[in-house]
Amino acid sequence: MKKLPWTQEEIDILRNNFLSENGKVRVCELLTNRTRPAIMTKASDLKLNPLKNYYKNENFFEVPNTLNSSISGIIASDGHMYMGNKKDGGRVEVYQNTEDEEMLEQIKIATESNHIIKRRKRKYHISMNRKQPSIGIGYSSTLSFYNPHKWIKDINKNWNIPIGHKSYIINSPPIIFNNLDYQLAYIYGLISGDGSVYIKGRSLTITIRATLPLLTWCKQVVSTFLKENLNTTITKEKNSKYLYFLDVNGYKAIRLFEKMRSLNCVKLSRKWDNPAILAHIVEKRANPLFLQRLDNPKKKQESLSQPAPSSVNTHDILVNTV
């Protein structure tokens, strides 16, 4: 069968739409007489390479601060880093449910990027019930950054986040990471990505999820901030071989919540601007006895005023495996 030559009108449609968001799908819808392989071949002939049109702040993760620490925490919990090869320049990706896409938009703004957020259908957990998790079908949004070699190098150096299947092996940040606000911002990112903030009974609960070494470090950081021991137990997730969780409850959760909201971080409104949670805190602060406990925590150990350790020996930690 003889190939039909491309008209100038078709070429214009290709040029004007191919590099836009969901451009490939848009072009296929407009050029119904062209197959997808034919469109991709013509786009290559016209040198319409989307990667050359993307940009970002290459130095964004070079020097730690609260903003890039929070984004690193999100990458650690709900992201992926891939170095790539000669044909593929690699990627740093961040995933969220489409309903929480606002956070991906904030990351784009913070990193001075024009990279595209893509949406797709996927299966996901719709219940936080650890005994009877339920699965639903929804939409997932992915923000992908291409050719991120410097980013990956800086993220690994400053936050100790590994390439590949990090969920199984991620550890605590290195020794140079000794600023308490940066540490809390990193944990804020972990909570925004894979943690929870909710009212349980008449108490605020913040749940942090991570590997045992990282979660042990998080517990020490939170204790350092609170200036008192965090007595809750690190517990193994029932449906995971590698993940554990730690709950912070009551007035300790309120103090941690208010501190984290005050930091310059990307914000997920569903967790950090939830009207029910904010109303709960206002109600608790109206109680004089609770207010006294909230604003004057007991100082149990002078050692807790020291910076949290950069690495933790988990062999001596008692872990609940129920």
Dump the DSSP string for 233-299: PPEE-TT-SS-EEEEEEHHHHHHHHHHHHHSS----HHHHS-HHHHHHHHHHHTSHHHHHHHHS---
Q: Where are the domains of the chain?
A: 8-50, 66-316
Is 6 in contact with 42 (CB distance < 8 Å)? yes
pLDDT at 16 over 90: no
Q: Which of 110-114, 129-133, 186-190, 238-242 has the lowest mean pLDDT?
A: 129-133
Q: What is the pLDDT of residues 199-229, one digit of tens each?
A: 988 899 999 999 999 999 999 999 999 998 8
- Domain 66-316 is classified in which CATH homologous superfamily? Homing endonucleases (3.10.28.10)
Nearest to 101 by CA among 140, 59, 127: 140
Structure tokens at 218: 């998080």
pLDDT (average), residues 224-237:
90
pLDDT (average), residues 235-243:
86
- Reported confidence tier of residue 316, pLDDT bands at 50, 70, 90: very low
Nearest to 103 by CA among 137, 81, 65, 73: 73
| Residue 107 to residue 85: CA distance in whole angstroms | 25
- Reported confidence tier of residue 239, pLDDT bands at 50, 70, 90: confident
Q: Is the dihedral of CA 312, 315, 320, 322 positive or negative?
A: positive
- Reported confidence tier of residue 85, pLDDT bands at 50, 70, 90: low
Q: What is the pLDDT of residues 33-59, one digit of tens each?
A: 899 888 888 887 877 766 567 889 999
pLDDT at 318 over 60: no
Q: Which of 34-43, 84-93, 195-204, 270-279 has the lowest mean pLDDT?
A: 84-93
pLDDT at 169 over 90: no
Burial, 209: exposed, middle or buried (Cβ in 10 Å; 0-12, 13-18, 19+)? buried
pLDDT at 125 over 60: no
